[in-house]
Amino acid sequence: MITEDQLEQLCLAWFQASGYEVLVGKSIAPESDTSERKDYRQIILTERLLNALMRINPSIPKTVLEDQVVHLLGKAESPALIQNNHQIQKYLLNGVPVEYSDGDKKKNDHAQIIDFHNQENNQFLVVNQFTVLGAKMNRRLDVVVFINGLPIAVIELKNPGDENAGIWEAYNQLQTYKDEITDLFVFSEALVISDGINARIGSLTANQERFLPWRTIKNENDKPLLEFELEKVVKGFFDRELLLDFIRHFVLFEQNGDSLIKKIAGYHQFHAVREAVRVTVIASRSETDVIKQERASYGKEVVPGSRKAGVVWHTQGSGKSISMVCYAGKLLQQPEMCNPTIVVVTDRNDLDNQLFDNFVAARMLLRQDPVRADSRDELREFLENRKSGGIVFTTIQKFALLNGEDKHPVLNGRENIVVISDEAHRSQYGLKAALDQKSGKYKFGYARHLRDALPHASFIGFTGTPIATEDKDTRAVFGDYVSIYDIQDAVEDGATVPIYYESRLAKLDINQAEIEQLSDQVEEVIEDEEDVSAREKTKSQWAALEKLVGAQPRIQEVAADLVKHFEERTAIIDGKGMVVCMSREICVHLYNAIVALRPDWHDADIEKGAIKIVMTGSASDKPLLQPHIYSKQQKKRLEKRFKDPHDPLKLVIVRDMWLTGFDAPCAHTMYVDKPMKSHNLMQAIARVNRVFRDKPGGLVVDYSNSI
């Protein structure tokens, strides 16, 4: 077994082989003849930074770069580390604003810190045993990675042979360093911990469960079996070309309540986005595909000009939203796309809202503010008038025809429009005509209307649950797979937790095949309805089955079992639960049965209570439902309460809401009393597969006997 020092030397050798300059910390220490630091508090290698700035910005005077840029980077603008780190990321992406005189003229410019277009203009350095003066004592960092004199990553190592000094001891040590030598981490893009055998990467704000492995080097297929995971991190993550791309397109900041958090892409997201962007450029233009390196796509190569950019299949809970944001941000910067317009399409309003919020939070990466079309007229106006650029969100139902239209009019014939379909399923496959028995005319689905409206757009699908039935095939619509990251991959990496199944109290005296057939029929109509009232009218088709499922004796039995089960489970594992019912009426009846058993769980105040119902509704709903109909703002508040592990709201009852795209890591149990299958089932149960503290797995409890 090697020692920590031997591991450190191996690490430095891997960096050197990757094109980095490698120095020992004492060689640039203040007392050294080759010193690059005036004292141990200085963490920026100023001379290297200034030389890089001069190379990258030859038109800006040296004195301006020194007085305005170097000076600015050397001082903290906020007492909060993450706020300073956020500001530095803005400077890295957009440059530092400078003002200077050129003769009689006053000039305003932006000095670029990193040259993302010419790798050779940047200087890559690794220093080991880098000492920094902390608040109480000196701290010596194992390995620090610099770009142009700025410390962009810290690697903390532990002795592989010491059982008491494992990888999580390295994690704890970094948390201490962040408090004691805060300035060192202002420029941090990633933190790495390793005991040699194991290695994990996390962001500046990542908790322990969000430090994840990096298993690849050049692309998704390049997963060599190496003795040390750290070698893959050095040769893969810290590859100079890939690292620059990572800093530019794969770092996000998100406001979580009062806290700002930093998110970085995992290896599966990084390589999926890079490949997706590459094939989108090819699919959108009729040009020869020149492959610079081994591709990571699956199946056949994308056809130039086919408008089918492919499918990114990443299992539920593995960070698909981050991948979509990074894809959009990187695609917008591709010169071949000539400032494209991106249309993000979902088939449910709740998905549209959640994904839109994710994109809005990433406006710095996207370099623009996404917009949402709230009506068909708004959507048509946006697309008709858009000459270039822009990100617009819509549900696919807004591509419905207006009264009197037989075919959707062309809204925009540009080739540099890209449609991103999120969780594509039924509504995305309506390309063929179907005979309307009432009118005697042939009707097309929304997907056909969308393609008529944007005839030269390219399409890419992001999904966690691909469909592969005879008449609805994801690849047939969007093209071949660009990237696959399945459940096993996610669980092995710690990106998600496993899901377990338990069947209880199945007492439905009805043929299961009939239930599934009715479920399919209702779902098909539901997905063709845009407004709440029409959707509710359609769901009345459940009435006959609802009488069986919602019979009062059965409701009371389910409530008693559920309460007992949930209390026993939360006594062992702290967390929250979701209950899925067939109808809004059953949601209310089950709620009443539960609070009859546990009256203290109920509270009419939206800010209080341990149990709530979250569902659609309107003022015209029956009195039974009215106490549980909330405004959009109130639902947002309930969402925030449920996601907060410390909030007393522990149990929510839903019919359809929160079953797709909803992320509450503290939820560990889902009670299903509704027939579900295929992609709907997979999307729903993934609500409990998020990583959270020491959660060993999610549990799905089936009361319907239909899973």
Which of 189, 199, 238 is closest to 217 using CA atoms? 238
When mean pLDDT is compared across 110-124, 515-529, 593-607, 644-658, the lowest value belongs to 515-529
Model pLDDT, residue 597: 98
Q: Report the percentage of the chain scoring pLDDT > 90.
A: 65
Model pLDDT, residue 206: 96
Can you count the helices (H) and strands (E) in the chain?
23, 25
Q: The tokens of 573 are what?
A: 């594992």
Model pLDDT, residue 3: 87
Model pLDDT, residue 579: 98
Quote the CA–CA distance of 405 and 410 in Å, as a whole number.
12
CA triplet 425, 323, 500: central angle to 5 degrees? Answer: 65
Residue for token pair 């050095």 = 234
Quote the CA–CA distance of 12 and 25 in Å, as a whole number.
12
pLDDT of 516 above 70: no
Contact (Cβ atoms closer than 8 angstroms) between residue 582 and residue 550? yes
* Stretch (H or E) spanning 277: helix 267-284
Residues in the chain: 707
When mean pLDDT is compared across 14-28, 172-186, 538-552, 633-647, the lowest value belongs to 538-552
pLDDT of 502 above 80: yes
Q: The tokens of 387 are what?
A: 């000459």
- As a whole number of Å, the end-to-end CA separation of the chain is 48
pLDDT of 434 above 70: no
Quote the CA–CA distance of 548 and 508 in Å, as a whole number.
7
Model pLDDT, residue 294: 46
Average confidence (pLDDT) over 436-452:
66
Q: Report the percentage of the chain scoring pLDDT > 70.
A: 87
Distances (CA, A) of 705 to 321, 590, 672, 676: 32, 18, 9, 10
Model confidence band, residue 409 (pLDDT cutoffs 50, 70, 90): very high
Contact (Cβ atoms closer than 8 angstroms) between residue 211 and residue 194? no
As to burial, measured by CB atoms within 10 angstroms (0-12 exposed, 13-18 middle, 19+ buried), residue 319 is buried
Contact (Cβ atoms closer than 8 angstroms) between residue 494 and residue 452? no
Quote the CA–CA distance of 309 and 324 in Å, as a whole number.
14
As to burial, measured by CB atoms within 10 angstroms (0-12 exposed, 13-18 middle, 19+ buried), residue 455 is middle
Q: Which residue would you say has higher pLDDT here, 439 or 29?
A: 29
Which of 676, 488, 660, 680 is closest to 581 using CA atoms? 676
CA triplet 156, 214, 201: central angle to 5 degrees? Answer: 35
Quote the CA–CA distance of 631 and 606 in Å, as a whole number.
11
Q: The tokens of 667 are what?
A: 């939820």
When mean pLDDT is compared across 33-37, 280-284, 369-373, 517-521, the lowest value belongs to 517-521
Q: Which residue would you say has higher pLDDT here, 195 or 77?
A: 195
Contact (Cβ atoms closer than 8 angstroms) between residue 392 and residue 342? yes
Model pLDDT, residue 99: 95
Beta bridge partners of 418: 342, 458
pLDDT of 126 above 80: yes
Q: What is the pLDDT of residues 291-304, one digit of tens each?
A: 444 445 554 578 88
Average confidence (pLDDT) over 573-602:
96
pLDDT of 487 above 50: yes
Model pLDDT, residue 441: 47
| Domain architecture of the chain: domains with CATH | 4-263 (3.90.1570.50), 266-493 (3.40.50.300), 499-702 (3.40.50.300)
Mean per-residue pLDDT of the chain? 87
As to burial, measured by CB atoms within 10 angstroms (0-12 exposed, 13-18 middle, 19+ buried), residue 547 is exposed
Q: Which residue would you say has higher pLDDT here, 277 or 465?
A: 277
Contact (Cβ atoms closer than 8 angstroms) between residue 399 and residue 408? yes
Average confidence (pLDDT) over 146-166:
90
> Would you call 643 helix, strand, or coil by DSSP?
helix
Model pLDDT, residue 442: 45
Quote the CA–CA distance of 221 and 684 in Å, as a whole number.
30
Model pLDDT, residue 424: 59
Model confidence band, residue 305 (pLDDT cutoffs 50, 70, 90): confident
Q: Which of 72-86, 200-214, 537-551 has the highest mean pLDDT?
A: 200-214
Quote the CA–CA distance of 386 and 383 in Å, as a whole number.
5
> Would you call 179 helix, strand, or coil by DSSP?
helix
When mean pLDDT is compared across 60-64, 142-146, 359-363, 533-537, the lowest value belongs to 533-537
Average confidence (pLDDT) over 331-352:
88
Contact (Cβ atoms closer than 8 angstroms) between residue 269 and residue 250? yes
Model confidence band, residue 286 (pLDDT cutoffs 50, 70, 90): low
Q: The tokens of 661 are what?
A: 């795209």
Model confidence band, residue 258 (pLDDT cutoffs 50, 70, 90): confident
Model confidence band, residue 247 (pLDDT cutoffs 50, 70, 90): very high
Quote the CA–CA distance of 179 and 174 in Å, as a whole number.
9
- 553, amino acid identity: P
Quote the CA–CA distance of 167 and 170 in Å, as a whole number.
5
Model pLDDT, residue 463: 87
Contact (Cβ atoms closer than 8 angstroms) between residue 638 and residue 614? yes
Contact (Cβ atoms closer than 8 angstroms) between residue 161 and residue 146? no
For the whole model, what pTM was predicted?
0.85
Which of 115, 123, 153, 118 is closest to 22 using CA atoms? 123
Model pLDDT, residue 544: 63
Model pLDDT, residue 508: 57
Q: What is the DSSP string of 485-554?
A: E-HHHHHHHTSB--EEEEE------S-HHHHHHHHHHHHHHHTT--SHHHHHHHGGGGHHHHHHHT-HHH
Measured over all CA atoms, what is the biggest interatomic distance in the chain, rounded to whole angstroms? 90
Contact (Cβ atoms closer than 8 angstroms) between residue 115 and residue 126? no
Residue for token pair 């082989």 = 17
Model pLDDT, residue 563: 97
Q: The tokens of 470 are what?
A: 């005879």
Angle between helices 320-332 and 240-249 (to 10 degrees): 100
pLDDT of 281 above 60: yes
Which of 370, 377, 423 is closest to 400 using CA atoms? 377
Q: What is the pLDDT of residues 643-694, one digit of tens each?
A: 999 999 999 999 999 988 788 999 999 999 988 877 778 888 889 999 998 8
Model pLDDT, residue 430: 53
As to burial, measured by CB atoms within 10 angstroms (0-12 exposed, 13-18 middle, 19+ buried), residue 474 is buried
As to burial, measured by CB atoms within 10 angstroms (0-12 exposed, 13-18 middle, 19+ buried), residue 58 is exposed
Q: Which residue would you say has higher pLDDT here, 355 or 433?
A: 355
Quote the CA–CA distance of 354 and 359 in Å, as a whole number.
9
Model confidence band, residue 373 (pLDDT cutoffs 50, 70, 90): very high
